[in-house]
Amino acid sequence: MQDCIFCKIGRGEIPSAIVYEDDRIIAFKDINPLAPVHLLLIPREHLTNILDINEGNVDLIGHIHLVANKLAKEAGIAEKGFRIVTNCNEEGGQIIFHMHYHLIGGEELKNFA
């Protein structure tokens, strides 16, 4: 999508604090962090949310989780704990309609479930 902010970040049109990228995903620091470590992991392919996952791209989710594990270890939050969150649609809290995962940690996180 031409006007999607995350697609623009993925194409390098909008600067961001990139911490990881490959041909399938990009990870960068959230501009409004909720914790000391708050990264966003997005697929380069535009998927609106997890409802767009199908048999053709299901391996992408595993890849995102492997990269999240790597980044959590590099950020020093793996041992104490972290959270991976994705929101789906408006009532699920989704604001940007490009599937993305939040990797959050670096302090004790409050339970919400």
What is the reported pTM? 0.93
Asked if CATH classification 3.30.428.10 holds for the domain at 5-105, the reply, yes or no, is: yes
pLDDT for 113: 56
CA–CA separation, 47 vs 45, rounded Å? 6
100 flagged as catalytic: yes
pLDDT of residue 77: 98
Residue 88 is given by DSSP the state -
The neighbouring-strand residues paired with 37 are 105
Return d(Cα 21, Cα 34) in angstroms, integer. Answer: 22
User: Can you say whether residue 106 is alpha, beta or left, with left for phi > 0 and alpha for psi between -120 and 50 degrees?
Assistant: left
Look at residue 110 in the predicted model and tell me its pLDDT: 84
Give the separation between CA 97 and CA 40, rounded to whole angstroms. 13
Domain regions of the chain by residue span? 5-105
Flag residues of the chain having pLDDT under 70: 1, 112-113
CA distance 94 to 49: 9
Which one of 46, 63, 65, 100 is the catalytic residue?
100
